[in-house]
Amino acid sequence: TDGWNFSCFASAIEHDAGISALDITSQNEKIVSSADDGMIKVWDTNSLISTTTFRNTHSDSISDICCSPEDPNVFVSCSVNGEITWWDLRLPKPAKDIPYENECSSSSCLTFTNSGNIAFGTESGHVLVKDIKNLDAPSNILRSHNRRIHRIKSF
């Protein structure tokens, strides 16, 4: 044996399709999940009960979700067709679309940077950094690869 012993300690089923992304908030109190059913769900980590459901969140499959390391009520999501959305659970209308430069193709993954901005990788190999204090400002575009960015971590 390899020394690993895995067991299921809890499960919850509320999405109607496979999970596409999952992240946990900075205080470990909530889990945010997305699925190919177009829903984003916010879960209480103690009870594993879905406390909030957003339906029809993107016009295509959600490719990634990232919770803010600073604020447990904020997360961002991106979809296969390139939509990037900022979410704040305290607001009555929690979603705000984040504009970015179209020549960089669609977003594939995202993260919050150590300086508190949002970085996202694209299908065309770019990494774009958005200033969260001014989401309408142009992105800082880094050309880092000539193929799709699959995963990006804080930097």
* Each residue's pLDDT tens digit, 116-128: 899 988 888 888 8
Exposed/middle/buried for residue 105 (C-beta within 10 Å: 0-12, 13-18, 19+): middle
Superfamily for domain range 19-143: YVTN repeat-like/Quinoprotein amine dehydrogenase (2.130.10.10)
Exposed/middle/buried for residue 134 (C-beta within 10 Å: 0-12, 13-18, 19+): exposed
Per-residue confidence (pLDDT) for residue 21, from 0 to 100: 93
Per-residue confidence (pLDDT) for residue 14, from 0 to 100: 81
Beta bridge partners of 24: 31
DSSP 3-state assignment of 91? coil
Q: Among candidates 129, 87, 75, which has minimal Cα distance to 107?
A: 129
Per-residue confidence (pLDDT) for residue 16, from 0 to 100: 79
pTM of this prediction?
A: 0.84
Beta bridge partners of 87: 75, 95
1-59, pLDDT tens digit by residue?
Answer: 567 887 877 677 787 778 899 999 999 999 999 988 888 999 999 998 999 999 888 87
Task: Give yes or no for residue 104 having a pLDDT over 70.
Answer: no
First-to-last CA distance in the chain?
Answer: 37
DSSP, residue by residue, 40-66: EEEEETTT--EEEEE-S-SSS-EEEEE
Angle at 57 between CA 68 and CA 87, to 5 degrees: 25
Residue with token string 């067991």: 7
